[in-house]
Amino acid sequence: FGAATCCFRSANATDGGSEWTGSERPELTQIYPPNESLQIRYSRCCKLCLTPNPQICSVFSSCGHILCMPCADQLPLVGTSEKCCPFCRKRGEVVRIFEDLIEDGIGTVLMEMLNTSVQDFRKKIKSSEL
């Protein structure tokens, strides 16, 4: 039900969000198209230079808008350390997103776990053959 609440809303604007049960439930209308991909809504593409998959991304602390770090570096400073978001004009600091480092770290840990499991399995097979 939690996923449905973000994709549907009551068709009756006068229900005021009141609770309903059984046959009293108002008709729901779909907000997003049924086959709209999350990839379309959450694209990594920089919205300024249109780089499809930038190596380093950054985010504005004030509004959450994301753009590639080279584009963020080219924005002029407003004050001491703030920049103006090119999408909504809110002032805020630009922070680097470290998504690649986290992804690599998880991959390394998973590979170590897999290698350990394979080694343990091989030891069990050898001991059972003796």
- When pLDDT is cut at 50, 70 and 90, the band that residue 52 belongs to is confident
CA 8 vs. chain centroid, Å, equals 21
- Spatial CA neighbour of 99 closest among 40, 58, 52: 58
Q: Does the model's pTM come out above 0.85?
A: no
For the chain, give every domain's residue range. 2-39, 44-129
pLDDT tens for 92-129 read 999 998 765 455 556 666 667 777 777 777 787 778 77
- Start-end of H helices in 33-76: 38-41, 69-74
Average pLDDT of the residues of the chain? 72
The third-level CATH classification (topology) of the domain covering 44-129 is: Herpes Virus-1 (3.30.40)
